Amino acid sequence: MCMNGLDSTIVNPALLTIAGDFGEPVSAANTVEVAFLVALAVALPVAGWLGDRLGVKKVFLGSLAVFTAASAACGLAQDLPALVLARVVQGVAGGLLTPVGMTLLFRAFPPHERMKLSKVLIVPTALMPALGPPLGGFLTEHLSWHWLFFVNVPIGAAAVLTGVVGLREHKEDAEGFDLTGFLLATPALGLLTYALGFGPTHGWGAPSVLVCGPLGLALLAAGCVHLLRAQTPLLRLRLLADRVFASATVLALVTSAGLMGVLFAFPLLYQAALGASALDAGLSVFPEALGLMLASQVADRLMPRLGPRWLAVPALVLATAVFGALAVPGVAEHTWAVRALMFCVGLVLGTAVLTVQIAGFADVPPPAMGQAMALFTIVRTLGGALGIAATAAVISAWGGSGTHDAAPGPYRAAIAVTAGLVALGALCALRMPKEAPAPPPFDDEPEGEEMPAAA
């Protein structure tokens, strides 16, 4: 799961170098990243069903093994088509890896103990994507871009061996496979991710984007109608009838959009407007990772006292202010101001994200956990793609050229948009419950022993 989170952002600083090595334009090299995201999105809808049908341990370790092998193939690629193909395989495995792995974790802990997961969940879901740009810039600058993928191989092999010994298998009574839902939802997510990925670089008026975007939306609408009516849907959209889970899912959409948008736009501001190198731009967001680590400690201690609503809402209000400060003229020119603000981004937004994720699944029954996690992951992934696409569209509309010595205005406008997305999340967080998940009554009573009736 950590490797999957890291690979979603680690390649970005190396795209220019990859394009040069293969003699391709940068727009073609961008296919390396878009192929991974499209393949990941395509695999997400079937993750819950496969985990229930085949067993979460088997699917998780199988996906991890394929992901590791595909990483080696990426590092050994001799041309761009081979690299893109290996990234597609890597993305499919990654699309199964995260929701199934999260299902394993959430089934292992009852709701009132899941705050203990905050120290674990922060690493693959938020810390690794934040570490991707600086690590990618460092490896590309001091070794080669091939090591962006080779670094996964020993870690993945060790994780597979550990999982074979340490994980327990769990299956649910999976119903028949929803072929119609698969044929609607899978291409819908793939086409939308493709349009969002290529729109900023190829132009929103490009023929492929004009076809894929509307077609993806049409298939998504048809898929939602089918999934709501089907007796055994591929994805149980009816889980969104639970107010808390629905609120958490919407929050995942907007906070992921805000975070991925600012991680995309701010390094561009640093490079294009201020003349920094790719490594410097990646390091500019590194303090966010430190804030995320502290957030796991803060959320663990404060949520039992304050409850999900009154921890998430103030955190998101503060995050809105921090995002807005990053867009203020003159702030980005001061290195220590940037580092302090990025640390605060990780601290306050990380606290909100962890709180929402833990509280959102409190009322989801264990048999539905795989389906709920797949749905939540799909929405969060699309949110990140939407955030990047929105900020890229703002930069393009305001005349951002992407070259050194460019005007900083378009990039600051894009960061202001991410602040608006986080502010929207603060409003959504008002629907979260006031109380933290409590342990079940008489949890410590010996099994089979009845409590005396109250007088």
* Last residue in a domain, options 125, 154, 177: 177
Q: For residues 381-396, give the mean pLDDT.
A: 79
Q: Give the domain range for residue 380.
A: 239-437
- Return the minimum-mean-pLDDT range out of 242-256, 350-364, 440-454: 440-454
Residues 251-307: tens digit of each pLDDT: 888 888 888 888 777 777 776 666 766 667 667 777 877 787 787 777 777 777 777
Question: For residue 91, what pLDDT is reported?
Answer: 85
Query: Are both 8 and 130 inside the same structural domain?
Result: yes
Range 215-219 contact pairs with CB under 8 angstroms and sequence separation of 24 or more: 215/191, 216/187, 216/188, 216/189, 216/190, 216/191, 216/192, 217/188, 217/192, 219/184, 219/185, 219/187, 219/188, 219/191
- Return the minimum-mean-pLDDT range out of 214-228, 293-307, 323-337, 375-389: 293-307
Residue 88 located in a structural domain: yes
Query: Are both 113 and 247 inside the same structural domain?
Result: no
Residues 85-132: tens digit of each pLDDT: 888 898 888 888 877 777 777 766 666 565 666 556 666 666 666 677
Question: For residue 69, what pLDDT is reported?
Answer: 92
Residue 262 located in a structural domain: yes
* Last residue in a domain, options 177, 194, 213: 177
* CATH code of the domain covering residue 288: 1.20.1250.20
SS3 labels along 50-100 = HHHHHCHHHHHHHHHHHHHHHHHHHHHCCCHHHHHHHHHHHHHHHHHHHHH
Q: Does residue 214 carry a pLDDT above 80?
A: yes
Q: Does residue 323 carry a pLDDT above 80?
A: yes
Query: Are both 260 and 391 inside the same structural domain?
Result: yes
Query: Are both 154 and 301 inside the same structural domain?
Result: no
Question: For residue 442, what pLDDT is reported?
Answer: 44
Query: Are both 167 and 251 inside the same structural domain?
Result: no
Residue 86 located in a structural domain: yes
Residue 231 located in a structural domain: no
Number of independent structural domains in the chain: 2
Measured between alpha carbons, how far is 73 from 107 in angstroms, rounded to an integer? 33
* Last residue in a domain, options 177, 207, 225: 177
Q: Does residue 177 carry a pLDDT above 80?
A: no
Query: Are both 248 and 337 inside the same structural domain?
Result: yes
Query: Are both 1 and 122 inside the same structural domain?
Result: yes
Query: Are both 156 and 290 inside the same structural domain?
Result: no
Query: Are both 127 and 272 inside the same structural domain?
Result: no
Q: For residues 233-240, give the mean pLDDT.
A: 81
Query: Are both 264 and 371 inside the same structural domain?
Result: yes
Is the model's pTM score more than 0.75? no
Residue 26 located in a structural domain: yes
Residue 195 located in a structural domain: no
Query: Are both 160 and 254 inside the same structural domain?
Result: no
Residue 442 located in a structural domain: no
Burial code (b: 16+ CB inside 10 Å, e: under 16) for 179-195 equals eebbebbbbbbbbbbbb
Residue 187 located in a structural domain: no
Query: Are both 26 and 130 inside the same structural domain?
Result: yes
